[in-house]
Structure 1
Amino acid sequence: MKDEVVKNLAAVFHREFGYKPGFTARAPGRVNLIGEHTDYNGCPVLPMALEQCFTAVFAPRPAGAGNGSRVSVVNTDSRFPGLTFIAENPVPPYETGSWGNYVKAGVQTILSYGAAAGKDCQAGCGFEAVITSSLPAAAGLSSSSALVVLSGLMAMASLGLSVPKDTLAKLFADGERYVGTQGGGMDQAVCMLSEAGKALKIEFNPFSAEPVNMPRGYSVVVMDSTVKAEKTRAAMDRYNIRTIECRLGTAVLKAAFSRRYGREVKLGLLGDMTSQNLGIPEEEIIPFAVDALSDSAYSLSGAAALLGTGTGRLAEEYCRRRDGSVLPEPPGGFKLMQRVLHVLTEWKRVEDSVSFLSAGDAAGFGVLMNGSHESCRRLFEISCPELDTLIALALEEGALGARLTGAGFGGCAVALVMDGDLPAFLSAVGRRYYGEYLKRTDGNVSRFLFICRPGRGAGTSVL
């Protein structure tokens, strides 16, 4: 099947560009099993790469073809028009929301890496490519990050560069901020570093990656709510507000700790809230955070007063978008306590999940999945009615655990199901959610509801 995909892409490449491609590349999507919105807070996550992926055939710009820094990409999905741009440093972005910005982000990442290493990469960074994807777009399965990685790998191969995979994971995490989101590094790390058949526990403070066995006799089922997580500026702002709230919450906690304990501590991320760093017992950390933060929303001026700074200065430091504009204060204020409490409890759920999975305790892991979704829904407020309905139905139909996965505000849910229950589970969820709840009449839900296996990480190879 994979060979057939590459063969078909190569035929399209020859038709579009008039010669044969020399390389193939793939970059998988991912499903986050547990650990939502923890990565950019310096806390661990537990995702797994999918077998579903972006696949490309490509070639560096041919000798004598003129501009060796020109990039041309054809997408087999007609919803995404072809792209041609010059790989100059910096690469000017398309308008916000364009799929081409994810291609440009990968190229820009490699150009920036080259410049930092004292190499002029512009002249040979160009390539021509045809790409396709078996990942649903805007479904919370990290198709966007997979596309950034794919593009960057093609640029790197065109230049003949060799960069360690763990270094690339960090580079692509920083590079994706080109599109305007302030994420962490989970998506890029799992895309680059995964092993087939295993989940991956990723630590960010400091960075490390540890393969984790999945329990035998159980499968992960991805369930697409069909509510699309848009890539518009308004959608990015909803995501970025959560990162701002976490950073502001961390700053307020640092000030509160100093007042209570009479000493300064290094507290730049919520992931710094360890017993070793704070010098207090682990069981006191969450109660301290809950006591130190108000359950009422904070205004920017209120947070500024607590931190002893001006409102304008605080907005400049915490609320600036990539384009230089300042994200406005949300109408309901900043919910610092709720966001912090989600991250700290989700961190513990990740650690407990690794223990349960390593022991083969699928039921225990399922309980943690359910707790994670409730926290995402109630404290982090990133769920939606469709996701809540889908997850409730999955649990009614026998899933051991189910939760939203990805950034939220739509996209997919993930469920853990006993292998023997899979046929009945898929049939019932397909009928009850897609048929009765969404009132779809086509009957074919396989693109929305599917079993996924832990896949391998991204890479390129010679055709």
Structure 2
Amino acid sequence: MTLTDRTVAAFAERHGRQAAGVWSAPGRVNLIGEHTDYNEGFVLPFGIDRRTAVALAPREDRLVRVTTGFADGAAEFSLDTIDPDAGAGWHTYPLGLVWALGELGAPPAGRRGVDVHIESDVPAGAGLSSSAALEAALALALDEHWALGLNRADLARAGQLAENRVVGAPTGIMDQSASLLAEADAAVFLDCRSLEAATVPLGFSADGLSLLVIDTRVTHEHATGGYAARRASCEAGARSLGVASLRELGPDDLARAAEVLDDETFRRVRHIVTENGRVLDTVRALRSDGPTAIGPYLDASHASLRDDFEISTPELDLAVGTAQATGAIGARMTGGGFGGSAIALVVDPLVPVLERAVVRAFAEEGYAEPAVFTVRPSAGARRER
């Protein structure tokens, strides 16, 4: 049964009637450009062939009632009394998205409520942005159903606002943009200051390459812990250096930064500056020489995330190191860090070899067995039926 069929069937079971439509959006892999988005820098994500689907039907009243395949019961709220401080839990994502649409000029006043059911095959907590896939699918569904007339950049901003204000995760706009703007066999080259986006062909399959995801099974939460601390450190570094964001700094500014900043803040800043450069180098390499040329940038990105930004984990380091030792073109952790997944770009015949090597390495260290699977660069949010 396809994800769409499963969502349609589950909607009928949970809500007792047929859905009016089904929309879906992909999770994402960030090929390179980590923690640069909220520093107004550059990122290079792509949508993956694991998606979140949303089925929807109108109600006669003003209620929004949401069910999911990953939680029992239903979340229910009124369009007349949307509270952005309505507590924690999965329900904050749909509630936050509806609230954010109103904040961005599409208030729910005069609109009928909806019944919604959500299904997903994007692994939660794996650094593949399952939350943004949910937000993007629901945003596209509500935009069409309520005839809001918003473009995809607007919908991405609504998803980010929901995460920041309602969920409490201080994330940038990369994940929602990737889920909404992705194209098949391509990455989204996004300038997070201007929000200009360009498509960059990846050509993995044409060159006989696969992109492996190594899910360490170490879950993370962006709303708490180190993610917020890293963002605060970047913002403090920008203030100390007298710039609006770290995007304004280049390699030539690092010597001054080393003099002005304490060692920890300097290393956070150095990661952002060098990571922006690696994104630009990767885009140039893809356009001129193809995907086999990007390995050194992936490897260098992981080293910077491990040593300067300090958001890797022993499991992520082991996954990356094993992939590199097994012959990967390049490998790095991906996502916000403190758990989640690593990626490795490999020639097709090495896929089963690398999978066995990683599983064996984790077993030898006494870690939980990782999930290792390939992903294909896939299209962004769309209506399914």
Q: Please indicate the TM-score interval, normalised by the length of the shorter structure.
A: over 0.9
Q: TM-score, with normalisation over the residues of structure 1? A: 0.77
What do the CA deviations read for 1:271-313 (whole angstroms, capped 9, x no partner)? 123xxxxxxxx65223232233232xxxxxxxxxxxxxxxxxx
Deviation, 1:361, is 4.5
Q: What residue number does 2:156 align with?
A: 169
Q: What residue number does 1:76 align with?
A: 69
Deviation, 1:439, is 5.8
Rounded to whole Å, the distance in 2 between the matches of 1:283 and 1:240 is: 25
| 2:247 corresponds to which of 271, 276, 296 | 271
Q: 1:125 to 1:391 in 2, by over 3 A?
A: farther
1:284 equivalent to 2:276? Answer no
Rounded to whole Å, the distance in 2 between the matches of 1:103 and 1:28 is: 17
Alpha carbons 2:63, 2:114 under 8 Å: kept: yes
Which residue type is aligned with residue 370 of structure 1?
Answer: D
Alpha carbons 1:45, 1:186 under 8 Å: kept: yes
1:371 equivalent to 2:358? Answer no
Deviation, 1:413, is 0.6
Q: 1:143 to 1:352 in 2, by over 3 A?
A: same
Q: Find the residue that maps to 1:45 and give its secondary structure.
A: strand
Deviation, 1:80, is 5.3
Rounded to whole Å, the distance in 1 between the matches of 2:368 and 2:128 is: 22
Aligned 1:32-51 pairs, distance under 5 A: 32-51=30-49
RMSD between superposed Cα atoms in Å:
2.1
Q: 1:288 to 1:440 in 2, by over 3 A?
A: closer
Rounded to whole Å, the distance in 1 between the matches of 2:157 and 2:307 is: 31
Which residue type is aligned with residue 135 of structure 1?
Answer: V
| 1:189 corresponds to which of 177, 184, 196 | 177
Q: What residue number does 1:339 align with?
A: 268
1:126 equivalent to 2:113? Answer yes
Q: 1:94 to 1:283 in 2, by over 3 A?
A: closer
Alpha carbons 1:103, 1:148 under 8 Å: kept: yes
Deviation, 1:58, is 1.3
1:103 equivalent to 2:103? Answer no
In structure 1, the gaps of 5 or more residues are: 255-266, 274-281, 296-334
Q: What residue number does 2:147 align with?
A: 160
Rg larger in structure: 1
Aligned 1:377-396 pairs, distance under 5 A: 377-396=306-325
Alpha carbons 1:290, 1:341 under 8 Å: kept: no
Q: What residue number does 1:437 align with?
A: 365
Deviation, 1:169, is 1.9
Deviation, 1:399, is 1.2
Which residue type is aligned with residue 233 of structure 2?
Answer: E
Alpha carbons 2:211, 2:346 under 8 Å: kept: yes
Q: TM-score, with normalisation over the residues of structure 2? A: 0.92
Q: What residue number does 2:282 align with?
A: 353
What do the CA deviations read for 1:63-116 (whole angstroms, capped 9, x no partner)? xx3x2x211122122x454312223354344433x111112121112222335x
Q: 1:80 to 1:141 in 2, by over 3 A?
A: farther
Q: Find the residue that maps to 2:196 and give its secondary structure.
A: strand
Alpha carbons 1:138, 1:411 under 8 Å: kept: yes
Rounded to whole Å, the distance in 2 between the matches of 1:392 and 1:88 is: 53
Task: Percent identity, please.
Answer: 34
What do the CA deviations read for 1:323-377 (whole angstroms, capped 9, x no partner)? xxxxxxxxxxxx3111101100111111111111112344541111111111111
Rounded to whole Å, the distance in 2 between the matches of 1:365 and 1:159 is: 43
Q: 1:81 to 1:370 in 2, by over 3 A?
A: farther
Rounded to whole Å, the distance in 1 between the matches of 2:224 and 2:303 is: 23
Which residue type is aligned with residue 394 of structure 1?
Answer: A
Rounded to whole Å, the distance in 1 between the matches of 2:193 and 2:63 is: 38
Which residue type is aligned with residue 357 of structure 2?
Answer: A
1:198 equivalent to 2:121? Answer no
Rounded to whole Å, the distance in 2 between the matches of 1:230 and 1:41 is: 20
Which residue type is aligned with residue 5 of structure 1?
Answer: L
Alpha carbons 1:126, 1:155 under 8 Å: kept: no
Alpha carbons 2:54, 2:138 under 8 Å: kept: no
Q: 1:73 to 1:362 in 2, by over 3 A?
A: same
Aligned 1:130-279 pairs, distance under 5 A: 130-177=117-164, 178-215=166-203, 216-230=207-221, 236-254=224-242, 267-273=243-249
**Where is the strand percentage greater, Structure 1 or Structure 2?**
2
Alpha carbons 2:39, 2:246 under 8 Å: kept: yes
